[in-house]
A = this chain, B = another copy of it.
Amino acid sequence: MTFTTRFTRLVGIELPVVQAPMAGASTPELAGAVCEAGGLGSLACGMLGAEAIVAAVAQIRSRTDRPLNLNFLCHREPAADDAVLRRWIERLAPYYAERGLEPPPADAIARRPFDDEACEVVESVRPAVVSFHYGLPAPDLVGRVKDAGSLVLSTATTVAEARHLAENGCDAVIAQGAEAGGHRGMFLTEDVAAQVGTMALLPQVVDAVDIPVVAAGGIGDARGIVAAFALGASAVQLGTAFLRCPETALPLAFRERLDHATDETTVLTNVLTGRPARGLANRVVNELGPLSADVPPFPLAAGPLLPLRAAAEAAGASDFSTHLAGQAAPLGRAVPAADLVRTMMREAAGIARGLGEDEA
């Protein structure tokens, strides 16, 4: 199997494996381990301030000088629409009452779109790659990232989105199939029902754009990696596969839920943050969703859930937790990330050779 691809040459890495950013679950340790193993480690910056990003990058670079990916969100910051937030808090009121909690003032978890300040961090840190979720920031910001010497990636969930990204400055596109854990990168469509599975999406994206395509969604082990290359991928992005690695920041309850995950455990839901994301279903997802028309725009839905989550988690329950994971969760392994990367690629080479052989 050819590990050298257009993508590895473009980025200057050894192995065509990208660790998905996974805000909340990934750590500098995880990113550093994947970089050291020859893949592309990613740091989710959407929930970090400038200082925290700089510190995390310094931590990774004290360990390895290999290419690194900084990931940012570029949703439109929602206008604080009191009526929408009030309706959401009303939907949550019974849960507050149940636990004797006072409904909190509406307050979002800070998930800032990429802005001038974040761009200044990129310009000072100069990562090999900057990847975006939810489309791209304004053209001047994209230009500044490129001028800083960083390659620009973003996620497409449809062929139309991939074309848009290729035409607007992306150096590579991540094709995210519906199996993927975490937030859908969708930005030209809001139609969750029309989201496309990796098997169908990937070859259509490869046919539609000239830039390298990184496959994401449902790739749980070496078999998925070889499948993605057969479909035309130039690299793979794995998130859920890394979740059980010791380098992640997963609470024990999340780890235990992953140990018992099946193919049917996850759903696409918008009730946890306001945007569709795939994760382990829980009480609030089942009772208010999985898709609710009452949620305020991303990320405003998350804030009013926080006190409920804290109270439930203190009692050992995941009823309001954001445990994001993909449909291949059962395929993940609880081994150090570098071992996982190297083992998977060695196994992938074996599978590919086996496919190439003709039976006597």
Contact = CB atoms under 8 A, between A and B. Distances in A.
Interface-central residue, A160, A200, A326, by most chain B CB under 10 Å: A200
18 contacts: A1-B355, A2-B359, A158-B263, A177-B197, A179-B196, A179-B197, A191-B264, A197-B327, A199-B224, A200-B218, A200-B327, A201-B263, A204-B262, A226-B227, A226-B230, A227-B231, A353-B356, A355-B356
B226 A200 contact: no
B191 A218 contact: no
A356 B1 contact: yes
Contacts of A331: 200, 203-204
Contacts of A198: 197-199, 218
A219 B196 contact: no
A131 to B, nearest CB: 21
B268 A193 contact: yes
A232 interface: yes
A192 to B, nearest CB: 9
Interface of A: 1-4, 158-160, 177-179, 189, 191, 193-194, 196-201, 203-204, 217-221, 223-224, 226-232, 262-268, 281, 290-291, 326-328, 330-331, 351-359
B204 A328 contact: yes
Contacts of A268: 193
A199 B226 contact: no
Contacts of A224: 199-200, 203, 230-231
Given A197-B199, A204-B330, A356-B356, 11 more contacts: A1-B358, A159-B262, A179-B196, A193-B290, A196-B263, A199-B199, A199-B227, A200-B217, A204-B331, A226-B230, A352-B352
Copies of this chain, tallied across the complex: 2
Contacts of A290: 193
Most buried by B among A1, A204, A221, A359: A204
A154 to B, nearest CB: 17
B197 A218 contact: yes
